[in-house]
Chains A and B, each alone.
Chain A
Amino acid sequence: MIVEVEVNGKRHRRDLEPRLLLSDFLRQDLQLTGTHVGCEHGVCGACTVLFDGEPARSCLMLAVQADGHKVGTVEGLAVVNALSPLQAAFREAHALQCGFCTPGFLMTLTAFLRDTPNPGPLEIREALSGNLCRCTGYQHIVEAVSRACGHPRP
């Protein structure tokens, strides 16, 4: 069926099979491979994208459900090749190892920090409770978020 969806500000019109997952549409049809799928069941959060500005699991959504909606992915965070403050903080605070889960963390946080500009460490942890990191996690990520908000240490 014909689907029109806006991804990172760009409109796309495609004829899609209904069972195509939004994550597969982004990764395969649009070559936006920054969105990763880890668990396939909405647990790990690696596939998190912004759906009309709100965090959503792209592995638990059909591409056809995005018809007429706006989707944001990690590729849309950087402005003209300059990292966003959050991206830069992730790098500086070493908030990643393998980096596979990182796009999901960044998308969840993008929505969270928009609604909660000055969070405390506990709020940050709660906001990220649906994102799993298998390598190193959590301490440096909280630190990165605090840093992105202008706090040197959590």
Chain B
Amino acid sequence: MKAFAYVNPSNESDALAALRSGGIVRPLGGGQDLLARLKDYLDEPDRLVSVKGALNREAAATGDGGLRIGAAMRLFEVAEHPEILKRYPALAEAASTVGSPQIRHQGTVGGNLNQRPRCWYFRQEEFVCFKKGGNRCFAADGENQYHSIFGNDGPSKIVHPSSLAVPLVAYGARFRLASASGEREVAAADYFTLPSMQTVQKENVLADDELLTHVILPAPGNVRSGHYEVRFKESRDWPMAFATVVLAMNGPSIDSARVVLGAVAPVPWRAEDAERVLRGRLLDDAAADVAGEAAVRGAKPLAQNAYKIRITRTAVKRAVLAAAGRSV
């Protein structure tokens, strides 16, 4: 990797000031993605700002019954946190499956949400794609078996790599973003951006001098949630497709639903058709089947990934069954 300077601020404002210190500056959390990218010359910053000691790493109750999670909280802590396990179990489950035990001990919430794509063209220096300022997406007509089946009309065919993003969108989380000039809150669903020619070099709305400092979860209400990841390898692999469903219940029937898909689109993908068909239904096997069918309506597979439609349908179906307390 290219040489760089390193600063280790102890608080948020110092960290935010350091992001404006000139040149290319990157925040360093657990480093589980950034260091790999530096080694592969995919990113060549002038300065790294360690934010692990500057950002909050706790989960604290909010006044309105929600939960506020510091971006420096580590993934294993999310997976084991009693309040998260009890009230946002899909989030805990997603955190528990990321990478490996070692990665979960170092990786942070902020890092998981802001990691760059795992596309195997993006990850090889030889391919100067749209995301690196080039003029093509090599996956569009290349080896695209692991790429998007939704939201892929834009220039880049990546899938978003974050596991936590999907349940966070499903639970209606908001993100606090801060810069030296101020702070703002963005709904998780609006944080991630579909690629356009203008935005293709990033996957979200975070500015270069901003940090994602907190994840704010609303009070869950009377919900049941389910999460299912289709993984080829059980050990340290990326899911081929996954889904979180959050069902607001009215007795045995579903009042409203959030169905969010992962690893199928450049952003966490809301399956609104599935949400619609679940509304007002009893939570049963048939609901799981129709939700799975509806979730993949409108999918546009690339040349080599039509199989992901079936896998996605399965993930949604099994996530609904999990919400119903049933194993597959």
Contacts and interface: CB of A to CB of B under 8 A. Distances in A.
B198 to A, nearest CB: 31
Interface string A40-66: 111101001001001111011110110
Interface in A12-46: 17-19, 21, 40-43, 45
Given A1-B6, A60-B32, A130-B236, A18 B48 contact: yes
A38 to B, nearest CB: 13
A93 interface: no
A67 interface: yes
B13 to A, nearest CB: 21
A129 B31 contact: no
A40 B32 CA distance: 11
Interface of A: 1, 17-19, 21, 40-43, 45, 48, 51, 54-57, 59-62, 64-65, 67, 108, 112, 127, 129-131
A62 B31 contact: yes
A34 to B, nearest CB: 17
A103 to B, nearest CB: 13
A114 to B, nearest CB: 13
Contact of A129 (B6, B50, B236): B236
Interface stretch (B101-109, B187-195, B212-220, B319-327): B101-109
Interface residues of B, number: 27
B102 A55 contact: yes
Contacts of A1: 6
Contacts of B48: 18, 62
B3 A127 contact: no
Contacts of A131: 100
B99 A130 contact: yes
B39 A40 contact: yes
Contacts of A61: 31, 35, 106
A48 B102 contact: yes
22 contacts: A18-B5, A19-B1, A19-B4, A21-B35, A42-B36, A42-B99, A42-B102, A43-B100, A51-B106, A55-B102, A55-B105, A56-B102, A57-B103, A59-B35, A65-B28, A65-B52, A108-B101, A129-B235, A130-B100, A130-B102, A130-B236, A131-B100
B8 interface: yes
B50 A65 contact: yes
A45 B35 contact: no
Contacts of B32: 42, 57, 60
B3 A18 contact: yes
